[in-house]
Chain A
Amino acid sequence: MKVWKYGDNINTDMLFPGKYTYTCSTPSEIKPHLLEDLDSSFANGVQQGDIIMAGKNFGCGSSREQPVVGLKAVGIKAAIAESFARIFYRSSINQGLLLIECSEAVNAYSDGDTISLDLESGKITINGKNFTFPKLPKEILAIKEAGGLLAYTRKKLEANK
């Protein structure tokens, strides 16, 4: 499992260039261009279960959801950042990508450190040191548990039939 660590203000154009926004929408179309202008080794090197770590305002910029859809599709287990931009945050809830806001963990982590995530208890462990993060509010958890917003919406439509 690899941690891909980046800095502050990683924007949506770095995560997925705008020039592809209206020609690539499916996970297979998105994957080759993920982080293309930020880290050219990412698209080929990323593996199921990897973690993304970043500084402040991760995902700022456009409302395009390809960055989130792509990160979910390549199997990113969680994105841990000092803070996230709000549309990106909502989008991650909608796609079921786990985001963790935890400055302490981001600041504590250096290349090569051992890291593990315990989602049940809301705990990140880096070199044996624990960092906790709060659980999502129940309204949001319901979307996540349904398997994302579209699955949640389908259920709602079925129920109201």
Chain B
Amino acid sequence: MTMTFAEKILAKYADKNSVIPGEIVTVQPDHLLTHDNTAAIIQKISKELDEYGVFSRQLSIIVLDHVIPAASEKTAMNHKNIRDFVKKHKIQHFFDVGNGVCHQIVVEKGLALPGKLLLGSDSHTCSYGAIGAFSSGIDRTEAAALMLTGETWLKVPQTIRMELNGKLVTGTYSKDVILYIIGEISASGANYCSVEFHGDVEQFSVEDRFTISNMGVEMGAKNAVFMVDDITRKHLNFLNVDQSNYNAVYPDNDAEYYKELNYDLSTITPQVACPHTVDNVKPVSEIEGLDIQQCFIGTCTNGRISDLQIAANLLKGRKVHPDVRLLILPASKQIFEEALQKGIIETIVKAGGIILPPGCGPCLGAHQGVLAPGERCLSTANRNFKGRMGCKDAEIYLASPATVAVSAIYGKLTDPRKEMKK
């Protein structure tokens, strides 16, 4: 019987020859990601942890990234409790404050590999589809249970196959592609489903794919995956991951899909998601000229070296508009170092950008760049929900790093192609 990527990988982890959509299987994931929420997770099971210990020291990946450095006594205490837990239970994969955003760390450290199964108590855990892994978000309680038992249930999802054909035009990026798709399919268009990306995907680096897979959850997807190819293998070689460490999983040629959707990438222009839902997507050109008070380039969606390089290229020798705060956040320490070496940071700082420490930063509204009522932020993040950046009377627009950088110069929403034709 033929199977999709999700069916194959869940059959493998359920130790079955085949599975069908709707079937419930018990699986043991390779890794469990938790972050600052580890504090609340271990509090739920403190007695059980004392009695039974953790299921495995290798299972958990813990990254402190959501509110770093601590913004209050409470968040500082969370971090302290997590460090104590890590030491006591000898957790192997721990990344303290300053290493970077959890999803970036998981991929950068080679912990997400092709054909692997990862779960995490963060909705953007679906990011690792960029590398050919099956990964999905769960809640804190389920993470707690996994820490103790190492296993959980998953319902085999139906699969949507998306063909991405044609070549992107200058000034458009993978962020524009995923915003366009979400605008078309809606915020619930892939609900409960696995999404596979096929077609002319060789034009996308692993970083580009990361941006697309990261936002899979914004259309409701359980996971969102690119198939392993030369680009993936090259990336893994660069990380010193030997091919013997992973087995790529591919769907059968005649696998049955719930839906097959085609997108012509050559017709996509720079896109922007307008308040207050990620599927409220318009071409930038349609609403150009909106005043902006804060611009933000970073996050697990778009805080990688290629994103910062695009911003620096556009900001070189220019100045951020005096009415705009431009916040820049490298997604990891490693990216930060590379950006320093390449002169990217210097260019951005000279243009007036403010550099934030590698972490989640202003994305979730807990600190660093909270908005005031009536303000508008243009961000490279993945969510524009009302109140997301700490104020329910502010507006968040989502776009590519190029759109955000150019708009920061003009102080208003601007189509980045304006600067690229010069």
Contact = CB atoms under 8 A, between A and B. Distances in A.
B13 interface: no
A4 B93 CA distance: 44
Nearest to B385: A13
B257 interface: no
Nearest to B366: A19
Contacts of A65: 139-141
Interface in B18-44: 24, 36-37, 39-40, 43-44
A137 B24 CA distance: 9
A114 interface: no
B78 interface: yes
Given A9-B277, A17-B365, A22-B78, A86 B192 contact: yes
A83 B277 CA distance: 17
Interface residues of A, number: 42
Interface residues of B, number: 53
Interface string B401-417: 00000000000000000
Nearest to A95: B141
Contacts of A19: 364-366, 370, 387, 390
B388 A18 contact: yes
A90 B43 contact: no
B205 interface: no
B387 A150 contact: no
Nearest to B382: A61
A22 B38 CA distance: 10
Contacts of B45: 150
Interface stretch (A43-51, A103-111, A115-123, A153-161): A153-161
Contact of B387 (A37, A68, A86): A37
B392 A150 contact: no
B148 A87 contact: no
Interface stretch (B67-75, B260-268, B324-332): B67-75
Nearest to B145: A153
Interface string B373-402: 000000000010111101010000000000
A23 B141 contact: no
A14 B385 CA distance: 8
Interface string B117-140: 000111101000000000001111
B247 interface: no
A2 B67 CA distance: 37
Given A68-B139, A86-B191, A150-B141, A18 B364 contact: yes
Interface of B: 24, 36-37, 39-40, 43-45, 48, 51-52, 66-67, 72, 74-75, 78, 120-123, 125, 137-142, 144-145, 148-149, 153, 187-188, 191-192, 217, 220, 222, 277, 279, 364-366, 370, 383, 385-388, 390, 392
Given A87-B137, A154-B48, 7 more contacts: A14-B386, A22-B74, A60-B187, A63-B120, A65-B139, A90-B139, A157-B52
